[in-house]
Chain A
Amino acid sequence: METSSVTIATSQPVAPSRHHVRVAMNRFFANRLAVSGSILVLFITLICVLAPLLTSYDPLEMKVQDRLKPPSTSHWFGTDEFGRDVFTRVVYGSRISMGVGFSVVVITSIVGLLFGLYSAYYRRLDNFLMRINDGLMAFPAILLAIAILAALGPKMSNVIIALSVVYIPTVARAIRSVAITVREQTYIEAIHALGGKSWRVIWLHIAPNCLSPLIVQATFIFAYAVITEASLSFLGAGTPPPEPSWGNILNDGRTIMKQAWWMTVFPGLSIMITVLGLNLLGDGLRDLLDPHTNRAKK
């Protein structure tokens, strides 16, 4: 009896059957938060991908005779002080926001998972890594990002690096807290007793159990990254002009707010839709994947 249960524990995870996939899909589609969030995120992603097809203008092309035109049929979101089409700039700006957000999520997930798992597994390493983590988490996100960008210079790739440094500790901490409880489970002990190698335990048995919280966390990090990138660009520390990003369009519009309200309203709404979509999706996924909050909400 015992031998058989040990064999199951050390065997490779079984691929989910079609039935399981169908049940998961049904649960996902029954969750209103997750569905509405996905629709919004999908919408912005499509705008991002299809940008050149959505507008005939060039986001950088200046036409002085068209400067500060209010929204009309030819310029849906009006024009800026250089006569550039604001709709086009907002559409292309989505590429910066989503690009930065997505890259930050990929980097923070990988590095955060690595730090979280190894920290949870090796206690000596834990003390060291978590002190660094605590230290980094003591800086307000935007302040740390500003300091890093001051050092590296305002460039999109540097914004990605800065935001990744800022958010890796959050992911590492979340992963560590789950991994620590998994590490104490009897089946992990059993694998050790059978002579299972550490890397095998970490990556094949602990890591899969951390995926749900990682996915939820990653969605929220995406949302934070979009807002923080916009704030940095607004301050002039993020994406440098003339490249359009929602934050720097807002910054351009700030001084001429009286004459050109459209430069403030539309990029802001775009940020709101994107972040709202990601937050809705995050809330929905948390309900679906985390049984504890699930119970609390019902």
Chain B
Amino acid sequence: MGGYLLKRVVSLLPVLLVVAVVDFIIIHLTPGDPASVILGAQATEEELAKLREQLGLNLPIYIRFFEWIGGLLQGDLGWSIFMDKPVTEAIWEHLGPTLSLTIMAEIIAILFAIPLGVMAANRRGTWMDQTFMTFALLGISLPSFWIGLNLILLFAVQLNWLPAAGYQPISNGLLNHFKYLIMPAISLGIMQGALIARMTRSSMLEVLNENYIRTAEAKGLKMWLVTYKHALRNAFIPILTVIGLSFATLIGGAVVTETVFNIPGIGKLIVNSVLRRDYEVIQGTVLMIAAAYVLINLIVDLLYAYIDPRVRYDKS
């Protein structure tokens, strides 16, 4: 396992380098520089030149790239010109809401999706299977922000049960925290749930045809035991892959969901930074998310071995 782990970590380095280069290039294609945004239209050419020099914007692009990479290696993601603080600090401040939101969305998705997917597979072809799968198909066809808007219309505007937007940290009371997050989490979780349910069903269908399931049934084991212990465990690898990949979709979805519900998370930070042309914040945040995605996939790969003992990395 140790050798495999090392090999995987080393193989991630070029990917992370590509991520950094792409990230840097895209942001620096942006027309208009932060100096003119900060000083406004009235600024003289002299003032602009002075500020550019202060911010290091007049240096050649490759020097700025290497300085940025050098900083990265020391854990420095840059400086937010508008918030006047390190990018890492800005990310840290906005991380809580996004983590709460995405974790809650993922939990809602998994709680519903796996039992529904298993039930659909067990009763394939019945009305139950067809109903669940129609809902799952609808789930992957609905934009999360539209679900969010409809939830607001129903539960906040019509019924007045929940707050329409905003965020309360856990420190202000758990119930309050949930009250603000439940609608965003549902709207974000539905598409994930639908994806996981579809994968659970098709993965279970493959496994249910295997001989060892027939053997388990033939020796008189209870249906639920066969389903959850024998079948689901073997069907779990593709499901786990979808759950791992869903992190990226969730963060992407969070950008829009946080805007709809006015949640001060990473998504909102990115959208605001794009509007303010706060280069280093966009760069740093996007890089962090991409790096987190790469690491999560590595963890998912390593988890395979625990779920399925047939997967042994050292031999390969």
Contacts and interface: CB of A to CB of B under 8 A. Distances in A.
Interface of A: 131-132, 134-136, 138-144, 146-148, 150-153, 223, 227, 230-231, 234-235, 237, 250, 253-254, 257-258, 261, 264-265, 268, 271-272, 275-276, 279-280, 283, 293, 296-297
A148 B202 contact: no
Interface string B122-145: 000000000000000110111101
Contacts of B145: 231, 234, 250
Interface of B: 14-19, 21-23, 26-31, 137-138, 140-143, 145-146, 149-150, 152-153, 157, 202, 205-206, 248-249, 251-253, 255-256, 259-260, 270-271, 274, 277, 282, 286, 289-291, 293-294
A276 B137 contact: yes
B19 A135 contact: yes
Given A132-B18, A257-B152, A268-B143, 13 more contacts: A134-B15, A135-B21, A140-B249, A140-B293, A142-B255, A143-B251, A150-B274, A230-B143, A250-B149, A253-B149, A272-B141, A276-B141, A283-B137
B256 A147 contact: no
Contacts of A261: 153
B73 to A, nearest CB: 18
Contacts, number: 142
B149 A136 contact: no
Contacts of B26: 144, 147-148, 150-151
Contacts of B149: 250, 253-254, 257, 264, 268
Contact of B137 (A142, A271, A279): A279
Nearest to B146: A268
A227 B18 CA distance: 27
Contact of A235 (B17, B23, B142, B259): B259
Contacts of B142: 268, 271-272, 275
A271 B140 CA distance: 12
- Chain A contact residues: over half helix, strand or loop, or mixed? helix
A254 B252 CA distance: 20
B153 A141 contact: no
A138 B293 contact: yes
Given A146-B274, A147-B23, A280-B137, A254 B260 contact: yes
A146 B272 CA distance: 11
Please provide the 7 A-B residue pairs with the shortest distance between their CB atoms, ordered closest to farther.
Answer: A135-B18, A140-B252, A151-B29, A268-B146, A276-B141, A275-B141, A138-B290
10 contacts: A134-B18, A135-B22, A139-B286, A143-B251, A143-B252, A143-B270, A146-B274, A152-B29, A231-B256, A234-B256
A280 B136 CA distance: 11
A276 B138 contact: yes
A138 B294 contact: yes
Given A250-B149, A258-B157, A142 B256 contact: yes
B286 A147 contact: yes
Given A135-B15, A257-B157, A279 B255 contact: no
B201 to A, nearest CB: 9
